[in-house]
A and B are shown apart, each in its own frame.
Chain A
């Protein structure tokens, strides 16, 4: 039971990073990324391949960050001048292409067999139990660091400029903000965070395969960010924990239903996710922790 709790909490942290990634661009500059699962996969494979070739784990994670950011820049460059619905379509396609590459380029990714035996840092020294506690601590620490960083951005002039772009990009451009550069930077940073999350996942599972990167993950994260509150890093993290716990709860809930085939149980669980997301959008579109709009700094009032 304890190892199950530790496992679930680690997964919570990994999803929290994905939620922070989505929140940065969606809550920040108002773009969506329906290809989160793709960036997650890019990071997981980048680190798995790098460490598989003999690099230390930290280098693998750095590689995931860099590759994620670069891929994010490449994907968005062609579409950032266009409307948001195009970006949604393109990012969805991107995730699908990444899955196809992972499935077909056997020389790089071992195809549908997946890459197994990915290095688990300090596992030999700590033992199985010790490793899972250590890894939970590490993931939680990384979530905290990324959260603190994004919160700082959120409260800084940079964050205010991002939100100005989200609300009205023409006005923001008129006020002298370089809209395109802000969007590119936000997307690259967001993609890097998603890729880091993928790398953490790969070393946690010691195994990655194309099956791990279904579009369903993207839907989980959208549920997390909407439930938690779009535009607030704390909300994204809170939402991610909530969603993973909800997901695990559906596992227990469906066990109570007698006479169902395994396929039907899986279908029920996915249905519940979809219904939950629709309900949240209807009932609480601002999420449980709504965005706080900070007051504008007070201008010194001229005294006559």
Chain B
């Protein structure tokens, strides 16, 4: 029983971390309608930007997160405008392939600058909190709080700001949005900035948990995709629900299968979901 409860808690924690880049991925998918594989490298870039701010410049975690968000947002917009934008007319598949190539380029720029060695954030060591038999790391708790705060900010942004409303309008029906005077090109830039920035923040949250290296983002790519597909491709609340479901599934699976197969859980979850409920838990927004 304790084992199960502990798995549930850990699952919610990992799910909340995956949810942040998954929202970023879903936002880009909903507005631009292609799966962006480059979010893996955006997460890595964010993780390294925050590492630089934290371990080299000595900033605390929250300002480091803000720097990571801004840096990856800008990188994302520049990458999108230079290498993906012109390909959008050729269909989702071509852009997706180009985003894989883009991912390779960005990942190797990081490798070129920082090398392959693992790096850790400069954080105070703290003892796990204990609730009876259950254990929770204070770092996990902090990351969870940050992740929830980021998600809340995202919801408020989408619900109440002009850009947020315009993004939702374009996601629902781009032609109608254009008729209403929304400039799709500007919305695309804001969406990519936000999506890439959130992926970067997600990379930091994942890095805070362990250590970072040039493959940090790539390792969670499948989980992020799985979360987005589970929740319904292109749906932002879906990404959150999908990520939490996936986190719990991964932790529960650890009871039955070896830890090395953790990423395989996401793959199996996608297959099961696609077979029985192709539109995801909350249904797909953009078709």
Cβ–Cβ < 8 Å partners of B266 in chain A = 93
Report the Cα distance A69→B274, complex, angstroms: 22
- Residue-wise interface mask of A (63-83) relative to B, using a CB-CB cutoff of 8 A (1 in contact, 0 not): 000000000000000110110
For the complex formed, measure the closest distance between the CB of A143 and the CB atoms of chain B, giving whole angstroms.
24
Does A104 lie within 8 Å of B274, measured CB to CB?
no
Interface pick from A153-161, A240-248, A259-267, A290-298: A259-267
B263 and A285 form a contact (CB under 8 A) = no
Interface size on A, residues (CB 8 A): 41
Least distance between A159 CB and chain B CB atoms (Å): 20
Residue from the list A78, A223, A275 in contact with B271, Cβ < 8 A: A78
Is B112 engaged at the interface, CB distance under 8 Å to the other chain? yes
Q: Mark B81-123, 1 if CB is under 8 A from A, else 0.
A: 0010011001011101110111111011101100110000000
Q: Which of A94-102, A116-124, A169-177 contacts B (4 or more CB under 8 A)?
A: A94-102
How far apart are the CA atoms of A171 and B60 in the complex, in Å? 59
The secondary structure that dominates the A interface is: helix
Neighbour of B104 across the interface among A94, A96, A270, CB < 8 A: A270
* Complex CA distance for A217 and B5, rounded to whole angstroms: 42
Q: Which of B90, B101, B258 contacts A274 (CB 8 A)?
A: B101
B105 x A278 contact (CB < 8 A): yes
Task: Determine whether B270 belongs to the interface, using a CB cutoff of 8 Å to chain A.
Answer: yes
Q: CB-CB < 8 A to B261: which residues of A?
A: 100, 104
Q: Are A88 and B93 in contact (CB under 8 A)?
A: yes
Number of interface residues of B (CB under 8 A): 43
Residues from 258 to 304 in A contacting B, C-beta threshold 8 Å:
261, 263-264, 266-268, 270-271, 273-275, 277-278, 281-282, 285
> Are A96 and B222 CB-contacts (below 8 A) given A78-B275, A85-B93?
yes
Q: Is A90 an interface residue (CB 8 A)?
A: yes
Check A85–B35 contact: CB distance below 8 A.
yes
Contact of A281 (CB < 8 Å), options: B94, B104, B109, B274: B94
Q: Give the distance in Å from the alpha carbon of A92 to the alpha carbon of B258 in the complex.
A: 21
Inter-subunit contact B233/A271 (CB<8 Å): no
| Other-chain residue from A85, A94, A100, A263 in contact with B111 (beta carbon distance below 8 A) | A263
Whether B97 pairs with A222 at a CB distance below 8 angstroms is yes
Contact B274 A85 (CB under 8 A): no
Residues from chain B with a CB closer than 8 A to the CB of A277 are 97-98, 100-101, 104
Q: A34 contacts B90, CB within 8 Å?
A: no
A128 on interface, CB distance cutoff 8 Å = no
In the complex, the answer to whether A85 meets B90 with C-beta atoms within 8 Å is no
Question: With A and B bound together, what is the CA distance between A200 and B165 in angstroms?
Answer: 55
Contact B274 A267 (CB under 8 A): no
A103, B261: Cα distance in complex, Å = 10
Is A255 interfacial (CB-CB < 8 Å)?
no
Asked if B278 and A285 sit within 8 Å, CB to CB, the answer is: no
In this complex, what residue of A is CB-closest to B276? Answer: A78
B100 touches A34 (CB 8 A): yes
Q: Is the pair B87, A89 in contact by a Cβ cutoff of 8 Å? A: no
Contact A278 B98 (CB under 8 A): yes
Given A271-B108, A274-B105: A100 touches B100 (CB 8 Å cut-off): no
Partner of A263, one of B93, B101, B116, B221: B116
B225 at the interface (CB under 8 A from A): yes
Chain B residues positioned under 8 Å from A219 (CB to CB): 100-101, 104
Whether A85 lies near B109 (C-beta < 8 A) is no
Which residues of the partner chain A approach B115 to less than 8 Å between Cβ atoms? 261, 263-264
**Cα distance A94–B263 when bound, in Å?**
11
Give A268 to B34 CA distance when docked, in angstroms. 28
Task: Specify which of B105, B258, B263 is in contact with A275 (CB 8 Å cutoff).
Answer: B105
* Bound complex: CA A277 to CA B103 (Å): 11
Q: C-beta contact mask, B62-94 vs A, less than 8 Å → 1, else 0?
A: 000000000000000000000100110010111
Give B271's nearest chain A residue, CB to CB.
A78
Is the C-beta of B155 less than 8 angstroms from some C-beta in chain A? no
Which of these, B102, B111, B116, B270, contacts A278 with CB under 8 Å? Answer: B102
Q: Does B157 contact A (CB under 8 A)?
A: no
Residues facing A in B208-259 (CB within 8 A) are 221-222, 225-226, 229, 233, 258
Give bound CA distance, A120 to B21, whole Å: 47
**What residues on B are CB-neighbors of A88 within 8 Å?**
35, 93, 96
Residues on B with C-beta less than 8 A from A85 are 34-35, 92-93, 96, 233
Nearest neighbor of A271 in chain B, beta-carbon distance: B108
A84 within 8 A of B: yes
| Residue ID in chain A nearest B279 by CB atoms | A82
Q: List 18 A-B contacts (CB under 8 A).
A: A78-B275, A85-B92, A85-B93, A93-B267, A96-B267, A97-B264, A97-B267, A104-B258, A261-B115, A263-B115, A264-B112, A267-B109, A267-B112, A273-B101, A274-B103, A274-B104, A278-B83, A282-B86
A-B pairs with the 4 shortest C-beta distances?
A274-B104, A93-B267, A274-B105, A277-B101
Q: A88-B93, A268-B108, A281-B87 are in contact. List 16 more A-B contacts (CB 8 A).
A: A85-B34, A86-B233, A86-B274, A89-B229, A89-B270, A93-B222, A96-B267, A97-B264, A226-B97, A264-B111, A267-B112, A268-B112, A274-B104, A274-B105, A277-B97, A281-B97
Q: Which residues of B contact A (CB under 8 A)?
A: 34-35, 83, 86-87, 90, 92-94, 96-98, 100-105, 107-109, 111-112, 115-116, 221-222, 225-226, 229, 233, 258, 260-261, 263-264, 266-267, 270-271, 274-275, 278
